Structure 1
């Protein structure tokens, strides 16, 4: 059986060995490599990048540390959450590979995009035999994150084409933004729409294209960004930069802040939109049990669902604490190593206070690399950039007949 690499996405093999070899070789060449000290001036004590405002370019601690250290994770809240394994109910093939993000509409239908550029709508996920897939549009690129708009249209983050608006009626595709300050918009990842028509979205990396996402996670490039596009504008504004692979995005119930999934650092970051802290970024939930990916806000209970694409990998954490030369060497090894996800599937739900309410994981899952999650009725639906269908699981607190 071919063995792959084991990194934040739960894969196994050569790249981790390459990472370890690079670390040992670098240590022999220079005794100056120490945890954290060998990184750039923007690294925090634990080797993570500073989450800075768009205009703040000086080295130093992130804004969340200016008035004291980040708040610790609420361990008591974690103890009170619901937990346990994911209970699988069904697998629904969709006729395309890589449904990276899934969102549910008000009729329980699931919308997703696949690697050949199609945007699909899936009806009847409760019964795989009767499930029906229809093509809504073709973007000409690689659709990733989706966001339903009040009029039924879709915001689509396309890794190659940029930020798009797609009509679910006639399939018309309109480009909203494909560059930032004259630089092509690379790896547009996830978006949310505010009530005033403003669109906020993430771009995972400025350094690597989507095909080399693994190299970005290994190198820890810290070039992800959070952007904002005002109504009528075609030039996005950078709200936060220095993010380690900016991924999923959600907005609080009162629209006072955004939550960004920082995949490379296994944490969620909060960016304040209003109030005395407007413009400030700070940790929201840290030390997650896996790598956070897409997020979806449940319109019924307000919980933010976060997909976990893979478990924590200590070897990768160790590489992140080394200097940039070691990380770049490890990234080159990761690019050329075979890739195969492990059997990890996971999701968690957090509230607007940063408390983890539900945490569901499975380490022997046949459905691998869960990059998105949403709820419809008493079921959770998960997407995966690796699979050719979506998985249906039992929602926490819900029991289906016969289970």
Structure 2
């Protein structure tokens, strides 16, 4: 009798094991992973040698708001911050007199101001928006052409001639369809189909065109000082591109792009996120996360990336927190490197530089961190 019971139990366990194996091997996942070759991670050395210059941030209480992903100083001398709730906050530079300037109903990940003082926002859910000084929100564009939507507007910069350049991080995974910006970004980077692109919107003609495509999660965007080139973060492949603004439909993920695009930084130590034009010729870049060996080791194993998505989310190979921002010049020289190896301030996505402060952008921080400008003088 006991043997029969143990036999039944063993059979049941065998069925469970087989079912689990079948699930891990065959359960449908939303990605179709593409094999690629990840360069060996450089680690933290040279200009990126470990330091503590980003540790001990001073904090501005955002009164319950989370994720000051993009911050900019307006013409009115007020500080504007886009947060997770869809609000764009407006406050004094010291954080006082906080108010909700506007709410887009989505998630603004990047913005800039045009010549008329309108806040031009890349909303990951809504598309490219214009917000008037009175807070009224208007849609500029949410598609390139009929049947070609902007699925994941991410970064944006406005040129002096009025044209607007924005990144469409993924044409596969829209945050509104996949649980939010973080979830959609994980899917896109695990897939490595390189469907991200950079777009130009011309408000004079109300037309949108593709500047460049074939980018593995197109993220932060900044203009060169002469406004002839765009700097674009390719988050999924740890690099920064310099692309001519007059490029048209350039596929940088296919054949060599030629004279209109080149890699400015390759094999960076983390996932480059936002780009912000600072002062004295600086462009600030933030790393949302450091590199992870587990992810790099799966580069040539598409099946393993599919299997990963079948695991509980707590088992996903998300790299540990690590605060890291750098500043570089138009010619690719790194002129500042600030780190916090403890990662106390989550996802340091860029720096907003003013005359006396460095504000640290973040996807999930529960406050707005900042440092005195003197931090740039530290050894």
TM bin (shorter chain): 0.7 to 0.9
Checking the alignment, whether the CA contact within 8 Å between 1:39 and 1:47 is kept in structure 2 is no
Higher relative contact order (CA 8 A, sep 6+): 1
Task: Measure, in 2, the Cα distance between the counterparts of 1:103 and 1:133.
Answer: 14
Question: Following the alignment from structure 1 to structure 2, what is the Cα–Cα distance between the partners of residues 283 and 96?
Answer: 36
1:101-250 equivalences in 2 (<5 Å): 101-105=70-74, 109-125=78-94, 131-167=96-132, 169-181=133-145, 182-210=147-175, 211=180, 212=183, 213-250=185-222
Determine if contact 2:326/2:338 at 8 Å carries over to the other structure.
yes
**Alignment partner, residue 51 of structure 1:** none
Q: Does 1:358 align with 2:311?
A: no
Matches within 5 A, 1:2-401: 39=34, 46=38, 79=47, 85-94=53-62, 95-105=64-74, 109-125=78-94, 131-167=96-132, 169-181=133-145, 182-210=147-175, 211=180, 212=183, 213-273=185-245, 280-298=260-278, 300-322=279-301, 324-333=302-311, 342-395=320-373, 398=376
1:17 aligned residue: none
Larger radius of gyration: 2
* Cα distance in 2, alignment partners of residues 257 and 198 from structure 1: 13
Quick one: distance in 1 between partners of 2:348 and 2:276?
A: 13
Which segment drifts farther, 332-341 or 97-106?
332-341
* Higher mean C-alpha displacement, 141-150 vs 388-397: 388-397
Work out whether residues 146 and 155 of structure 1, in 8 Å CA contact, stay in contact via their aligned partners in 2.
yes
How far the C-alpha of 1:396 sits from its partner, in A, is 5.8
| Structure 1 residue ranges without an equivalent (≥5) | 1-20, 27-37, 49-72
CA gap 1:81/1:47 in 2 versus in 1, 3 angstroms: closer
The aligned residue for residue 63 of structure 1 is none
Asked whether the equivalents of residues 65 and 84 of structure 2 are also in contact (C-alpha less than 8 Å), the reply is: yes
Distance 2:354 2:312 in 1: 37
For the residue of structure 2 that corresponds to 1:366, the secondary structure is coil
Query: C-alpha deviations, 1:311-334, integer Å up to 9, x for none?
Result: 111221121233x44433334547
Q: Distance in 1 between matches of 2:58 and 2:111?
A: 23
Q: Contact 1:103–1:373 (CA<8 Å) still a contact in 2?
A: no
Taking a change above 3 Å as real, the CA distance of residues 46 and 369 of structure 1, as seen in their structure-2 partners, is closer
Gaps of 5+ in 2: 1-20, 27-32, 248-256
The change in CA–CA distance for 1:197 and 1:290 in structure 2 (over 3 A counts) is same
- Assess if the C-alpha contact under 8 Å between 1:120 and 1:134 holds in 2: yes
The TM-score with structure 2 as length reference comes to 0.77
Separation in structure 2 between the aligned mates of residue 367 and residue 236 of structure 1, nearest angstrom: 36
Distance 1:335 1:205 in 2: 21
TM-score (norm 1): 0.73
Task: Tell me if the contact between 2:234 and 2:241 (Cα under 8 Å) persists in the aligned partners.
Answer: yes
After superposition, the Cα gap between the structure-2 partners of 1:80 and 1:383, relative to the gap in structure 1 and judged at 3 Å, is: closer
Distance 1:309 1:115 in 2: 16
RMSD: 3.3
C-alpha separation in 2, matches of 1:332 and 1:303? 42
SS in 2 for 1:271: strand
Q: How many aligned positions are there?
A: 330
